Amino acid sequence: MKTLTEHLSQYAEYHRDRRNILTHFVGIPMIVLSVTLFLSMVSFPLLGLSASLAWVAVLAASIYYLRLDLRYGLAMAVVLVLCIWLSEWVVASGTALWVAIGLFVIGWAFQFLGHAYEQRKPAFVDDLAGLIIGPLFVMAELGFHLGLRKTLEQDIEKQVGPTLIRPKKTDTYKQA
């Protein structure tokens, strides 16, 4: 299994333009919430209670994140449980399908806008693991902006370089 640094570096290679990263701060949470909404609509009995596919997916994702890194794994687990809590509330309101579709479409629109700035395809096109690493990347970038995990940030930048702003119609970057 790849390390946290390897996963984030591979993902970061596709995300060096700061505008792309910014769109991911909007788009990825929308997509994650839409997925928990879709999965919260499918429930089944478990030990006398009602469970949903969202809990199964969140448990699996949380275990994966925890295996990569305890601190980010715990942070991701908290965020994902909050997504389920919000999803269950929306499901109870009866509007979940339309809210999920709207979040999913708008979230992906932000993703593709960001990659237009980046002038590079999304990471998941080359490696489907990018779909689960994307939310972790946003969490890591948030941590970096808060001054956390500087060693991890430096290790990633050693491999893929700093974040920059790509000028239009050129292959060079300029530092912002």
55-113 confidence digits (pLDDT tens): 999 999 999 999 999 999 999 999 999 999 999 999 999 899 999 999 999 999 999 99
Cβ(134)–Cβ(123) below 8 Å? yes
The predicted model gives 25-36 an average pLDDT of 97
**Residue 129's CB: how many other CB atoms inside 10 A?**
15
pLDDT digits (tens, 9 = 90+) for 40-57: 999 887 777 778 999 999
Instruction: Write down the pTM of the prediction.
Output: 0.88
Please list the alpha-helical segments (H only) found in 41-162: 53-68, 70-93, 96-118, 130-145, 150-160
Q: Rounded distance, CA 164 to CA 24, Å?
A: 15
Asked if residue 173 lies in contact with residue 24, where contact means CB atoms within 8 angstroms, the answer is: no
Residue 17 φ then ψ, to 5°: -85, 125
